[in-house]
Structure 1
């Protein structure tokens, strides 16, 4: 299943400066593995050593925050848009 993934500026060095890429997978975890296969190094910027989405990274599958869905097991139907968004903090 092919999905579209929006890549934030900070991670575009991994994707050859592409803001949107395609990936394969029926779950978010599979999509991230597909991204890692095509763009080595990107997974470690999104997923921590314990295999969870990094604290300061937000991922949306079809506009739903995966933290409130099934996390990395969130289904990713064909054609779904996935957005990786770094959290912004400030004061």
Structure 2
């Protein structure tokens, strides 16, 4: 069993139109590295030039925001679900 990653519509064009990715990984940091390795065009849309996650993206592990866990060092286990949510602004 693996960790399931839900990709938002706005980023699916960089994952060959895949809405769900699966990896066997231990941390969110590994997840990001794997996605950026497998889909290099997504890199600039996930992280800035210093490797920091863009502030307009939110990562949730089983509905828990990683900012309130261990950020990129948040541990993952088989069966976890990671959602990448694009922040939406409007008025």
Does residue 36 (structure 1) correspond to residue 36 (structure 2)? The answer is yes
| Counterpart in the other structure of 1:22 | 22
Partners of 1:11 and 1:46 in 2: CA distance: 9
| Counterpart in the other structure of 1:57 | 57
| Alpha-carbon distance, 1:2 to partner | 2.5
| Alpha-carbon distance, 1:23 to partner | 2.1
| Alpha-carbon distance, 1:35 to partner | 1.1
Instruction: Count the aligned residue pairs.
Output: 91
TM value normalised by structure 1:
0.89
Does residue 3 (structure 1) correspond to residue 3 (structure 2)? The answer is yes
Contact 1:52 1:72 in 2 (8 A): no
TM value normalised by structure 2:
0.89
The farther-off stretch of 4-13 and 37-46 is 37-46
SS at match of 1:12: helix
In structure 2, list runs of 5 or more residues that go unmatched: none
Kindly indicate which of the two structures has a greater share of residues assigned to helix: 2
Cα offsets for 1:21-68 (capped at 9, x unmatched):
112320000011111222122233112223222110011011110111
In structure 1, list runs of 5 or more residues that go unmatched: none
